[in-house]
Amino acid sequence: MDLRALLDHVRKNHALEHATINLLSLRYPDAHIMGFSGRFGFVIYSTIAPEEVISSVREGLKQLRAGASQLAIHASCGTNLVVAASLTTLATLLGMGDLLMVGGDGDDRRSAQRWGWKLAERLPQAVLLNVIALFLAGPIGRWIQSHVTTNADLGELDVVSFVTDIRGGRRRVRVYTRLTTDA
């Protein structure tokens, strides 16, 4: 399998993982659910019975194949966290500007005082830029999910097996998939 096919398989697994979590969240709004996707499928950690998770995997597969691509996007996806962290870090760096470059001039007390005044001047700008970054993080994160980190068009993705156990006090369901082109 070449790199492009490998990444597409992971993106499809990620979409099915999100669909599963979205469906489970509708049925069990107070449940704690977490997932990770990879080359061979995905893993769901939750407090929900494995039979319910497996049922949601099958339902997610069915709905994604029927065109319910919105199920491939999840608000709590790690992609959104990375986007928010990246944008706010950039906003802080831009907002603080040359403040990060202020060095000592031999008089530490005077240098510290100058730095304090520059901080007071720059902090409102940095906060405003961070608010804008957080405002943009949601839509950008969803766009990245839908165009980069997931692929709701599952094509020939098949679920081949489930393995259930308990790990760290939570139920774990490992879902193994394959593309018929893998066979």
DSSP 48: S
8: three-class secondary structure by DSSP = helix
pLDDT given at position 117: 77
pLDDT given at position 7: 96
Per-residue pLDDT at 71 exceeds 80: yes
Of 96-100, 159-163, 171-175, the range with the lowest mean pLDDT is 96-100
Instruction: Tell which wins on pLDDT, 95 or 72.
Output: 72
Q: What is the mean pLDDT of residues 157-162?
A: 97
Instruction: Tell which wins on pLDDT, 172 or 105.
Output: 172
Per-residue pLDDT at 57 exceeds 80: yes
Q: What is the mean pLDDT of residues 89-114?
A: 73
Give the whole-angstrom CA distance, residue 166 versus residue 173. Answer: 9
Q: Give the residues across from 171 on adjacent strands.
A: 46, 166
Q: What is the mean pLDDT of residues 113-138?
A: 89
| Residue ranges in 97-107 assigned as alpha helix (H) | none
Q: How far is CA 88 from CA 7, 85, 132, in A?
A: 28, 5, 9
Q: CA nearest 22: which of 64, 51, 80?
A: 64
Per-residue pLDDT at 96 exceeds 90: no
Give the whole-angstrom CA distance, residue 95 versus residue 58. Answer: 47
For the CA atoms of 14, 59, 173, 81, what is the dihedral angle to 10 degrees? 30
pLDDT given at position 12: 98
pLDDT given at position 180: 83
CATH annotation of 3-73+150-182: 3.30.980.10
DSSP 106: S
What is the largest distance, in Å, between two alpha-carbon atoms of the chain?
71
Q: What is the mean pLDDT of residues 137-146?
A: 96
Give the whole-angstrom CA distance, residue 46 versus residue 171. Answer: 5
Asked if 156 contacts 107 with a C-beta cutoff of 8 angstroms, the reply is no
Q: CA nearest 173: which of 71, 35, 74?
A: 35
Of 34-43, 65-74, 96-105, 108-117, the range with the lowest mean pLDDT is 96-105
| Residue ranges in 73-107 assigned as alpha helix (H) | 78-96
Give this prediction's pTM: 0.85
